[in-house]
Copies of this chain bind each other. A is one copy, B any other.
């Protein structure tokens, strides 16, 4: 079965997940779909107008320490972002195009690195253009197409699909109707899909 990888670019724990999910899926022989979505509407519906890591300081303090341990173990640089959370809307609209056209994996990793290792402003289209160019893409063209009403609407639809699947945080993984939440469940989600590939369930 296919693993859907749901991610919001502002999300901290999605960074280590995005950096390893493709290799993990390939190793298991499992197909992966890159599904950018927005947490804003989901958090808003819960009454949060900010990241819960900012609203609940003890949890936020812990998260940064936990992220430092996780990134160190994974050999990833982690630096304090220019702000937290950053606005991932423009990047998500681009990643949605990239998922159709085959460049979402590289672009997604580049955006997470820019956010959590490069101290770049990922809401800035000039920064996103630079990342697109570094991947050999036509940045102006991709940005223009990401801004069409159709593409904006598709991101809303995709976020609605995440909500319908029960997604409430990022990263999340779905395999059919089975939901897995968090970087900690990445390997479980892939194993779940791999087991159902073999058994043809």
Contact = CB atoms under 8 A, between A and B. Distances in A.
A188 B72 CA distance: 14
The secondary structure that dominates the A interface is: helix
B59 A168 contact: yes
Contacts of A50: none
Query: How many copies of this chain does one complex carry?
Result: 2
A181 B67 CA distance: 12
Nearest to A168: B58
A62 B168 contact: yes
Given A65-B179, A179-B65, A58 B184 contact: no
A69 B187 CA distance: 14
A61 B184 contact: no
Interface string A177-194: 001110011001000000
Nearest to A45: B58
Interface of A: 42, 46, 56, 58-59, 61-62, 65-66, 69, 163, 166-169, 179-181, 184-185, 188
18 contacts: A42-B58, A56-B168, A58-B163, A58-B166, A58-B167, A58-B168, A59-B168, A59-B169, A61-B166, A62-B166, A62-B168, A62-B179, A62-B181, A65-B179, A66-B180, A66-B185, A69-B188, A184-B184
